[in-house]
Structure 1
Amino acid sequence: MGHEVWAVGDAYEAYVGRWSRPVAREFVGWLAVDAGRTWLDVGCGPGALTAAALGTAPARVTGVDRSPGFLADARFRAGGPRTGFAAGDARALPVPDGRFDVVVSGLCLNFVPEPRLAAAEFARVTASGGIAAAYVWDYGDGMAMMRHFWEAAAALDPGAVAFDEGRRFPLCAPGPLAELWSGAGFAAVTTRAIEVPTVFTGFADFWQPFLGGQGAAPGYVASLTEQQRTALRERLRSRLPAGPDGSIRLTARAWAVRGTLP
């Protein structure tokens, strides 16, 4: 399987973006930030967290992402007089020291090759007394759609386990997240789970996003032959808990961490 792709907003939206929006809203509510603050959204993607932050009546929200495609989508979905967007790497943010009251990141940190460098950058750009916080999917246990997928894939191809995010991203758990934040110098570090329902109207609604090429599981599907893809599709169909109306009701959990800069 080739390099994991995260760049096309519509494909991302169908796959996990639609579930990330309620998580972003819950996360922002947990932070309980006063109006008039300056925010930095690191790894803003198509703008779900930026849009949620706008609900706090901020002075300004700045989004940073490495993907030109995602930045274009973020500008379309969350652009306006109180937002701005820039290309940049989480390990070397293109902003001055101590610039932001609130520094956040949604569903991004596990993809940063050196998350400790990113956490150090969060500390660098957070104002004294400011908040830094992030959340990531609970790939190991709480992201049911992906757990069903990888368990079905591994039953047909033992080599599929090498691509399973649950194995690849040990950061995505409360202990490692808290340790990362404390190591970067943040105080009053706390973590929490955020769980949202993921209801698919039917099997096609579940399966079709895996054909979009965005992320590890869709990338794995793209690497299969047509015969292998059909076998995986039918194995998934047989194991998913469909209701009488054909809907598939699952849940998605994210782990969040927050701290303050002394």
Structure 2
Amino acid sequence: MAESSGGDAVQAGRHDAWQAGDSYEAYMGRWSRQVAPNFLDWLDAPDGLDWLEVGCGTGALSAAILERCAPASLVAIDPSEGFVAKARAGVADARATFQVGDAQALTLATASRDAVVSALVLNFVPDRQKALAEMRRVVRPGGRVAFYVWDYPGRGVQFMRAFWDAAAALDPTAGDLTEDRRFPFCTPDGLTALAASAGLGAVEVMAIEVPTVFRDFDDFWRPFTLGAGPAPGYCTSLAPDARERLKEALQASLPYQADGRIAFNAKAWAVKATVG
């Protein structure tokens, strides 16, 4: 998914390749799996609900819902056929249905779900307000709409910032592609305003921080070479010699531990609202 509002956004989004489920899992899915349990604990939804996940990706949040929340049913959608196939293959549960769908035009009936959630998706939806309004529409009165996104403006995803800082030192144009510039609304105030613009009230926001620890440099570098996401898309767009220079710059600058691991932290903003 990529932004589509204006030439600058289209240019920035040209590297957002989200089709390959395995590539996304290596780059981002594994970290979303760490955020998901904390997000669901905070949401504190009762058992037996009908859930919808918008933008299920490779199934990180879906799996956590099924494991922790005892849902009556879960419908999970994503615009990427590759992601849906990956999620369906990885989550074998009769309560779950995975299907291709558009966050901005949900096919579910009005007031048909108890909880609608989304993980690391809304910043890539072209019309975020419309997507949230659709999420609100399908929730029953008293139900919940909730989501989380990375703290891009606060440089909260440290491994991602390490990549972009190294890239910008070699290629000044890379600075225009960074998520903090593309998604400045990913702050508590910005997300509260976005939710309110879609008709959601009594909005609550909480920070969720997780460790993102890489076994070694290859574990850090390889996901950037797979093309799934803005930074990996940028990396794979480089000529081989430029990509090698970036690799060498990163290899020399990362904060290695004594055992060779590379440890960062990542912060997400979680948002929830109850539909009246």
Which TM-score applies when normalising by structure 1? 0.97
Q: Deviations over 1:144-199 (max 9, x none)?
A: 01100111100100001121111111232111111111222222210011110011
Instruction: Say whether residues 1:24 and 2:63 are aligned partners.
Output: no
The amino acid of 2:170's aligned partner reads L
Q: Tell me the distance in 1 between the aligned counterparts of 2:264 and 2:118.
A: 25
Correspondence list, 1:135-146, <5 A: 135-140=148-153, 141-146=155-160
1:5 corresponding residue in structure 2 = 17
Q: Which residue of 1 aligns with 2:133?
A: 120
Instruction: Choose the corresponding residue for 1:35, options 44, 47, 53.
Output: 47
The answer for the alignment partner of 1:209 in structure 2 is 223
1:131 is aligned to 144
Q: Does 1:260 align with 2:274?
A: yes
Q: What are the residue-to-residue correspondences of 1:14-163 with 2, within 5 Å?
A: 14-54=26-66, 55-140=68-153, 141-163=155-177
User: What code does the residue aligned with 2:111 have?
Assistant: G
1:47-101, CA deviations, whole angstroms, 9 ceiling, x for partnerless residues?
A: 1111111121110010011011101111112232100122111111111001110
Aligned mate of 2:206, from 192, 203, 215: 192
Question: Aligned letter for 1:253?
Answer: K
Partners of 1:197 and 1:250 within 8 A in 2: yes
Classify the secondary structure of the residue corresponding to 2:56: coil
Answer yes or no: is the 8 Å Cα contact 1:139–1:146 preserved in 2: no
Equivalent pairs, count: 262
Q: CA deviation at 1:3?
A: 4.5
Amino acid at match of 1:160: A
Deviation, structure 1 residue 231:
0.9
TM-aligned CA deviation for residue 109 of structure 1: 0.2
1:164-175 to 2 correspondences below 5 Å = 164-175=178-189
Identity of aligned residues (%): 51
Once the two structures are TM-superposed, the CA of residue 220 in structure 1 deviates from its matched residue by: 0.7
Question: Residues 44 and 74 of structure 1 are in contact (CA less than 8 Å); yes or no, is this contact kept in structure 2?
Answer: yes
Distance 1:224 1:182 in 2: 40
> How far off its partner does 1:240 sit?
0.9
Q: 2: distance between equivalents of 1:185 and 1:94?
A: 20
| Letter of the structure 2 residue corresponding to residue 186 of structure 1 | L
Distance 1:177 1:203 in 2: 34
Q: Which residue of 1 aligns with 2:3?
A: none
Q: Read off the aligned partner of 1:101 and give its amino acid letter.
A: D
Matching residue of 2:8: none
The answer as to whether partners of 2:121 and 2:149 remain within 8 angstroms in 1 is yes
Q: For the Cα contact (< 8 Å) 2:15–2:231, is it kept in 1? A: no
Does the aligned pair in 2 maintain the 1:41–1:64 contact within 8 Å?
yes
Where structure 2 has 5 or more consecutive residues not aligned to the other structure, the ranges are 1-10
Computed over aligned residues only, the root mean square deviation of the Cα atoms, in angstroms, reads 1.1
What is the rounded CA distance, in whole Å, between the counterparts of 1:119 and 1:48 in structure 2?
20
1:176 aligns with 190
Please state whether the residue corresponding to 1:61 is helix, strand or coil: strand
Gap runs ≥5 in structure 1:
none
* C-alpha separation in 1, matches of 2:92 and 2:137: 26
